[in-house]
Amino acid sequence: MQDAEMLTIIVPCYNEEEVLPETVKELGAVLEKMIQDKKVSSESNILFVDDGSKDRTWELISKYSSELGYVSGLKFSRNYGHQNALLAGMTTAVAYADLLITIDADLQDDINAIPKMVEKYHEGADVVYGVRNSRKTDTIFKRRTALTFYALMKKLGVDLVPDSADYRLLSKRATESLLQFDERNLFLRGMVPLVGFKSAKVYYARKERFAGESKYPLKKMIKFALDGITSFSVVPIKLIMGLGFVISIVGIAMFIYTIIQKVLGNVISGWTSLMTSIWVLGGVQLICISVIGEYVGKIFTEVKHRPRYTIEIDDYSGKFKNKNKD
Ligand code: UDP
Ligand code: MG
């Protein structure tokens, strides 16, 4: 049998002091079991990425890192967001790990899916999606909006795996391909399917957050969804074109109607129709401009090419420096 390979579990954390002890305990148990069963190599580990937390998250991570051989941490210089934390974790870990799993810190995603993901990997999948088969614990509102979002994305021609978030396994080569994507506006769950390779799914039930509050309030959720749409699809711009045609046809019809009325000698009292057209058309135009503006804004952030994150402390690479197998 081939030697077992090194797994790194990447866990982004933002103000997660309340859940971290439990997360370390539970993830650690799953990891140790897999090492024992020789499913993954003995250097397999957990990498916590502290996304600029304001609480004791980093203190806890460094404490666990010094106590436990299989825990290490990356600390951002400030909050860069969940997607960037995942990106930094993958960029750092891919130098050493053969397979990478990303999971949230709050234990909402069932960690028992991890061994199943690794199994699928051994069966030849480079990408294994964790898919929620039950969202009982999410509010009806969150379920509805999620459903609408996936349907909308599908209409817009974006290939997403429904009900899969950022809980997934990637092989080394899939991660390397993903990291070639150079965009600033990260929407990883849209990017991963673009990488290709053989993929598989593992189903699990999503639980309540273990402790603490969601870091994705409604406002951030809407922004994330809009970002997803405008980063992956230009259909909104095409819709504007359609709208433009419809309005132009109505405009021409109005024009013909007024000319006929004029020829017939009917005096039209025009105030109401004038006011309505001005306001309605003005509104429609502003909406259209703002849609285009959204894309221009995206281009603006992309061309600036700013760094996507800054790492203040990296105790992962240090830990595995001598363990590089080559
Ligand atoms: N997170 C992060 N940076 C942020 C916001 C969130 O690293 O700016 C992490 C957070 O600690 C958690 C994961 O991203 O591990 C998902 O966040 P959360 O559980 O709050 O989102 P929800 O499950 O409510 O969608
Ligand atoms: Mg959560």
CA angle 286-287-292, nearest 5°? 95
Report pLDDT digits (tens) over 299-314.
888 898 899 999 999 9
Q: Find all residues with CB under 8 Å of 197, minimum gap 6, and list them.
A: 125, 126, 127, 171, 173, 174, 177
The pLDDT value given to residue 268: 64
Q: Assign 2 a pLDDT band (cuts: 50, 70, 90).
A: low
Report pLDDT digits (tens) over 31-49.
999 999 988 998 899 999 9
CATH class of 7-215+307-320: alpha beta
Which of 152, 5, 6, 165 has its CA nearest to residue 72?
6
Strands 99-102 and 45-50: unpaired
Report pLDDT digits (tens) over 72-90.
999 999 999 999 999 999 9
Give the span between the Cα atoms of 326 and 317, in whole angstroms: 15
Site residues for ligand 1, CB cut-off 6 Å:
12-14, 16, 51, 79, 81-82, 85, 104-106, 108, 214-216
Q: Assign 135 a pLDDT band (cuts: 50, 70, 90).
A: low
What sign does the dihedral 40-45-51-56 (CA atoms) show?
positive
State the closest ligand 1 atom to the C-alpha of 81, by its place in the atom list counted from 1.
8
pTM comes to: 0.79
Q: Which ligand is nearest to the CA of 221?
A: 1
State yes or no: ipTM above 0.90: yes
The pLDDT value given to residue 178: 95
